[in-house]
Structure formats: C-alpha cells, structure tokens
Chain A
C-alpha cells in the first residue's frame, strides 16, 4: 500500500529543523526529496509496508496511501488525523460507505517520561542479583520467582 504525496500540499517541510519529516521518519528509507519538484516522493513503492509513519507525521497532511495494486481494488481510502491524545481514522469503502473511529494513542504528554523515577535498586549491590531496574516497584509481586 504505497504512500503518495500531493504536490499541491507538500511544502518540503519548510522551517522544520529535522528537514522534511517524511524523509526523517520513514523506517525503510523510502521517502526522499524529488530535487526537481522539491517535494517528497516514495522512491521504492514495492517495499512500502504502509506503516503510515510518514502519513501520521506530515504537518501538511499531504501524504496519502493508494492500496497495493496487487490486490487492492481502486476507490477506497484509509486516512488518519491527529487529535488530542490520539488519532481519528476515516475509512472509505469502494462502494462509498464511510466509517470514522477515534482511538487514543498515549495517556501522557509527549516528552514526559522519567526513566528511573522512584527506582530503589542499589546500582552496586544489586548488580549481581537477578532483579531488573525498578522491579521492586513495578514487578507487581513481592518476590522474583525462581526455580
């Protein structure tokens, strides 16, 4: 299900310090800049896993997906819009039916994690034992099982 970029909406992420965000995020090195058009483009659509990482991140909402030509008939679309704490998905069927769903993604503000908060393990004395960092607080049972 390869992604494609709407040339009328893509602005090459002008002003984004990471550069074009689809190019930045693509896990398979597919999204690249077409230097003549100065727009994002999927350079290897047959290795696109439709993960939607670029679609979700695009600040212009300029990236869409056209289903895999091997087995996806034309006419449908599945597209997310970011909302507070989650995504709203619009699913359009080939026959015109339309569904909309909103699901949460994250319960905490982005950037708020605190890796070792309230961990009580002793970095020297507990290094030899079997317990992992924070397990005295987070394992859920008092004692780590063993055989």
Chain B
C-alpha cells in the first residue's frame, strides 16, 4: 500500500464546501479580492453538491423589503421566538438585512420564482416564496465557478482536518484531505479559511433500517464536517445541544410547509382531533414563547408528540380536505392545485412522490401520514448548532465582537451556513448570504494580516498517515479472517456508524427513547462515545470509497459527542418536542436563557463547557 504523494496548493482564501454557503463565499470573495487566489474544495461536484443539490421548491428566507413585507427586526422577533428565546440577534439581523439581494441575484442568474399577476413574488408564508427550484444548485454554482475560475476548484477532494499555524495554534493555516477518486493527499495552505461544509444527518439512528437510511430528511451527504473539522482544533462552539426534529410526511420525509401555509391543510389524529386545538392549554406552560405567533416549531412538535405518546396515531395530513376546499368543485382549479402539490415534492424530495405513487396516494382523495423524524444537528434550517462567531461591527455588542464578522475564535477561520451557531432559519438563501458576508470579511482579514502562515510539517505528515491509516489497517489485518466484515483488529465505517447511531438514539434522546434523556443516561452515553472515538482510529477500509465513509463517521462522531456534552450541561428542557430532560422537565428562563459553549482541548483531551449571555438587541 504505502502513503500516496502529497500535493500542496497555496492560496489566500480556502472555501471548504461548495454548497449554498460555499458558492456565496466564492462569488463574494472574488469580487472584493479580485487580486487574491480563492480556492473551493468539495468532496463532490458543486453543480449538485450539498443539501440543496436535489433542488428546492421554495426560498424560505426572504424579507421582501422592497415590497414592505418585512423588516430585519421582524425577522429577529420571529426567529428568537421560534428558538424559544435563544438566538444571536446580531447574526440573525445580519442575514435578514442582506438576504433579499441574494434572492434577486439568483433570479437574475436564472432561478424561476413564482409571480403574482402584479409581478410581485408569490408568497407561501411570511418568509417563504415558491420557486421552480429543481436547478437551484446548478444556477447558484455557475457564477461561483466562473468567479474563481475552474482551475481553482478542487472537486472530489474530501477535507478531513483543519491545519493550524506552526507558531500559533490559534491561527488557521489551511486544511488537509484526500482525493476521493485518486490516490493522493491534498494539503491546502491558506491565509484564511471559510468553513461552509455541512451539518449532520445520520448521527441518530434513523427510523428506516435498510435502503431507507439514505432517505434522511437533511441531506445524507451532510456528515457534520462543519463541526468535525472545527471542534478538534479548539474552535469555540455554541448551542451544540440544539437539534431539529422535523415533522414530515412519513418515510419519504417530503416537506410539509407548503401544505400548512399555502394549502392550509391540518393534521388529525385517529380520533379526528386537531392537536393545535385540543392541546392549546399545553402552550401556557412555555410562556412567553407559548403565546408567540406563529407557535414555535418545537411546541407544535410537542403538541403532536403528546397525541402520539397517548397512542392516538396515526397522524394524518388532511391533504384531501385542503385540496377540495381550494378547488371548490372546479376541475381546472383542482388541476392547478394538483400540479402545485406534486411539484413541491418533484422539485426537492422526489422520494416522497414515489412513496405516494407506490402506496396509491392521490392527495386530493387520500390523507397522508406525517411523523416526527429522528433528530438532526445543524445550523442553517431550524437548528442552531455551530461555531461561536464574531458579529458585524455595526450590530454586535462587545461580547459578540472580535474584529471580523463571521470569524470564529480561531484567527483567520470564518464560518457560514451550518457552521455558524445561534443563527438559524437561514435556509438556502440565508446560507448563501452568510457565505458572502464571511467572504467579504475574510478578504479584509487577508488584506490586513499579511504575515504568511506557516505549516507545521510534522503535523502535516502525522495527519497524512492517519488519513490513509484505514486502508493500511485493512491491508495489514485482512489475512486474520475469512470474512472482511468480521475482524478483531478493525471496524468498518458502516459498523462505526451503526454504533454511533445506537449510542445517540438510546442515550441522547432519539426516537426509540421518545426523545427523552437525563443526566446519568447522558454520562453513560459519553463514556461509550469516548470508546467509539478511540475505536475510530482502528477503522478498516477496502478502498477510497470506504475511506470517505471512515472520515465521514469521524466527523459525525465529533458532532454526536459535542451534542451529548452540551445536553448534559443545559439543566432544563428548553425545546420540548425536540428533546426532554426527564430530570429537568421545565423551561427555566431565569437560569438558562444563555448560550452553552464548548471548546475541546486536544492536548488535555478535555472539553471545557461554559455559558455566554443572550443579549436582546432588537426591541
């Protein structure tokens, strides 16, 4: 076997990940840094990589400032309530005030947006506009590719670790990874790095058990690398205890937003009851958030969960009633509603269309089951896990500001999208926008900090060997057993993933534990995941495809461990419907309306957990 050749690329700005945030970062950094070398690295091909690669049926973050629909202040109020009181208002406002320009640019580049007769954008809800979004990602990637130049895009390269400066462990110096399609270690030396890679699916045991585990709600390609790359070098993280549990159409995980907000459908239990009506009193336990309009997402989950726990399922979305109401007996109107309903899936979750067709579900005739999915840890949708970053100069108070907007606590390391914590509800357009904001800031950082970073060659060589180790391990020990999957010297990446998912499901409040955990259970989970983290150094890979999976499960495991440790620290139940601490069942605004932050200290193999204040900036 033997270590393959190491190729080094030097650049000013390295963008890790070519999803919506990464494309935004690449586009923006080449405008302000016309003279800088900007490189994008992606484990796939940017036309279809990332969480939006399949397409989307809506832009879920649009203010409509030009129409007078919403202000960034309105957006902050909405997001803070939906997060039950905890979000960084400076970061949320920053996305809100800029996001319209991103949406208008996407339209200019070719994204078809639904229009009303008067030429204004059509609306689904307060922040959502419907699109014909099957090609959202190629439309977004094209100008990014043009901006940086095709010679600066490294595709099918999987980044496994960040690199810090030889003389300053708190200064970023680049990243290292390997070629997914060729035997090569890639080293990127960069003055600034923008972390735009993904949040985490498949950390918790999914409801599906075989082929269906690919049908995660959040992209199965989102492997928690935003967290698994930043945590090991000591980046301060925030809100890693937060998770999102989506209510979605059962198994296919098709979106429900359009059904609730545009078609005005409701969900009924087996007794024909609507939990938003029968469980209204439950909301009073969670004031002031219980009275917020709209009801925060976790509380709506919580209401439905109570029905399910009492055995009142299945829960059915009454698509039939909603469509018949909208059509009003007019076949032409029904044709239009039917076309819109199917497009919602065909643009973004094609599996749901297949699920309906295979089960003979015509939505105008047959209601469709909805379910609470397994938990996801992410920072761009309704989750808020990610790095603790500086806010913008004109918005952030001193507690939230250290010189460069979207810079993490590691100098020169910027983040966007799933990588930024406490700044949720960005979705595709907001992530693209946050990538742009991080990029402009990174350009300024590079121009104002000209001292060249130095790579630590022994760090690079050690990491190169560890990246390749699973292939070496397999080669060395394969003769011990006639079955490649059963060997006392290594575990396969698939086996490691299943172990992670079992730990998270049973100890961190997954679906089989009814989203419930407590202190002793979490401590036991931490003990087991520490052993898993050790065992991950003994993975075996038969080929580069399995090597990719080995490093994906490493990133997912860092994400899971951070989640467990943060859950243990927060002694309250702030997000019922997402998870329950049975030992601290109440929301406690007096003591716990604070951010939970953590830093991993690699030299001591220790996690330091602290809290940071929530500051109300928008009155």
Does B214 contact A46, Cβ atoms closer than 8 Å?
yes
Instruction: Evaluate contact between A44 and B545: CB separation under 8 angstroms.
Output: yes
Interface band, chain B = 35 or more
CB contact list, A126-140 vs B, under 8 A = 127-128, 130, 132-135, 138-140
Main secondary structure of the interface of B (DSSP, over half): helix
Q: Are B350 and A29 in touch, CB under 8 angstroms?
A: no
Among B358, B362, B440, the one with the most A-chain Cβ atoms within 10 Å of its Cβ is B358
**Given known contacts A91-B342, A108-B109, is B350 in contact with A52 (CB within 8 Å)?**
yes
**Which B31-50 residues sit within 8 Å CB-CB of chain A?**
31-32, 34, 43-45, 47-50
- Pair A28/B28 contact, Cβ less than 8 Å: no
B354–A51 touching, CB < 8 Å: no
Q: CB-CB contacts of A102-127 with B at 8 A, as 1s and 0s?
A: 01111110111111100101010001
Tell me which residues from 47 to 73 in chain A have a Cβ below 8 Å from any Cβ of chain B: 47-53, 65, 67-73
**Dominant secondary structure of chain A at its interface with chain B:** loop
Contacts of B443 in A (CB 8 A): 127
CB distance from A25 to the nearest CB of B (A): 6
The 5 A-B residue pairs with the shortest CB-CB distance in the complex, in nearest-first order:
A140-B66, A70-B212, A108-B110, A76-B358, A51-B54
26 A/B residue pairs, CB under 8 Å, sorted by A: A1-B214, A27-B50, A28-B44, A45-B214, A46-B213, A47-B213, A47-B220, A49-B221, A67-B351, A69-B212, A78-B354, A89-B342, A94-B359, A97-B362, A101-B343, A115-B31, A115-B146, A128-B444, A132-B98, A139-B65, A139-B98, A139-B104, A140-B100, A140-B104, A141-B100, A147-B394
* C-alpha spacing A45/B212, complex, angstroms: 9
Say yes or no: is A26 at the interface (Cβ < 8 Å to chain B).
yes
Give chain B interface residues in 275-309, CB to chain A under 8 Å.
none
Q: How far does the alpha carbon of A1 sit from the alpha carbon of B254 in the complex, in Å?
A: 13
Measured between beta carbons, the chain A residues less than 8 angstroms from B353 are 78, 89, 91
Contact flags (1/0) for B311-345 with A, using CB distance below 8 Å?
00000000000000000000000000011001100
Taking the closest CB of chain B, its distance from the CB of A70, in whole angstroms, is 3
Instruction: Decide if A139 touches B100 in the complex (CB within 8 Å).
Output: yes
* B350 lies within 8 A of A1 (CB): yes
Shortest A50–chain B CB gap in Å is: 4
Q: Which residues of A contact B545 (CB under 8 A)?
A: 29, 32, 43-44
> Do A67 and B350 form a contact, CB below 8 Å, given A132-B101, A139-B101?
no
Q: Decide if A99 touches B72 in the complex (CB within 8 Å).
A: no
Whether the Cβ atoms of A106 and B65 lie closer than 8 Å is no
A99 to B339, CA, bound (A): 10
Task: Give a binary string over A20-35; 1 marks a CB under 8 Å from any B CB, 0 the rest.
Answer: 0000111111001000
Report Cα–Cα, A104/B111, bound state, in Å: 9
We find that the number of chain A residues with CB closer than 8 angstroms to chain B is: 76
Nearest chain B CB to A87 CB, angstrom units: 6
Contact at B45–A133, with CB atoms within 8 Å?
no
Q: Using CB atoms and an 8 Å cutoff, list the residues of chain A in contact with chain B.
A: 1-2, 24-29, 32, 43-53, 65, 67-78, 80, 86-87, 89, 91-95, 97, 99, 101, 103-108, 110-116, 119, 121, 123, 127-128, 130, 132-135, 138-141, 144-147
Residues of A within 8 A of B27 (CB): 115, 133
> In the complex the two chains form, is A50's CB within 8 Å of B134's CB?
no
A53 touching B112, Cβ below 8 Å: no
On chain A, the residues within 8 Å of B32 by CB distance are 123, 127, 133
Q: A52-B54, A78-B357, A115-B30 provided; 10 other pairs, C-beta below 8 A? A: A49-B215, A49-B216, A52-B350, A67-B354, A68-B214, A73-B359, A93-B357, A106-B112, A127-B440, A145-B72
